[in-house]
């Protein structure tokens, strides 16, 4: 016998941010702020360290590779949506929410 299922709207839950996520975020932001995120170590940059921090952040926050991280977003809405990668753009609101939570936790840490 068939059943009728009701759709539930699921609002974004408040993010839970661990200390490991805050530490990885602070490290990655400090590398970005120093302008060393793009150059590899043999060029005087810290790109490998930045990628390691990004991976640690993804792991701590359970972010899949095809979704943006809090390091990727710079506002509550993307500037423009282009290309076929809708999944990346669909993850923007959660990444922004996580960034706000991480910024708050990082400020409270200092």
User: Do the domain assignments include residue 101?
Assistant: yes
Bigger pLDDT: 105 or 109? Answer: 105
User: Do the domain assignments include residue 4?
Assistant: no
The total of structural domains in the chain comes to 1
pLDDT at 76: 87
User: Do the domain assignments include residue 51?
Assistant: yes
Residue 26's alpha-carbon distances to 21, 33, 57, in angstroms, are 9, 10, 10
By the 8 A CB rule, do 89 and 81 touch?
yes
Q: What are the tens digits of pLDDT across the range 76-107?
A: 887 776 666 677 788 889 999 999 999 999 98
Backbone conformation region of residue 36, classed left if phi is above 0, alpha if psi is from -120 to 50, else beta: alpha
User: Do the domain assignments include residue 41?
Assistant: yes
User: Do the domain assignments include residue 54?
Assistant: yes
User: Do the domain assignments include residue 3?
Assistant: no
pLDDT at 2: 73
Q: What are the tens digits of pLDDT across the range 4-48?
A: 877 766 665 666 899 999 999 999 999 999 999 999 999 999 999
pLDDT at 1: 66
User: Do the domain assignments include residue 1?
Assistant: no
Domain that holds residue 93: 19-109
pLDDT at 18: 92
User: Do the domain assignments include residue 9?
Assistant: no
pLDDT at 80: 73
10 Å CB burial of residue 99 (0-12, 13-18, 19+) is buried
């Amino acid at each position: 016998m068939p059943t009728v299922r009701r759709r539930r709207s699921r609002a974004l839950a408040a993010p839970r941010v661990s200390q490991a996520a805050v530490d990885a975020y602070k490290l990655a932001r400090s590398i970005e702020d120093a302008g060393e995120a793009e150059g590899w170590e043999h060029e005087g940059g810290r790109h490998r360290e930045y990628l390691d921090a990004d991976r640690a952040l993804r792991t701590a926050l359970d972010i899949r590779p095809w979704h943006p991280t809090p390091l990727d977003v710079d506002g509550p809405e993307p500037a423009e949506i282009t290309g076929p990668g809708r999944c990346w753009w669909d993850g923007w609101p959660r990444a922004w929410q996580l960034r706000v939570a991480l910024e708050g936790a990082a400020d409270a840490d200092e």
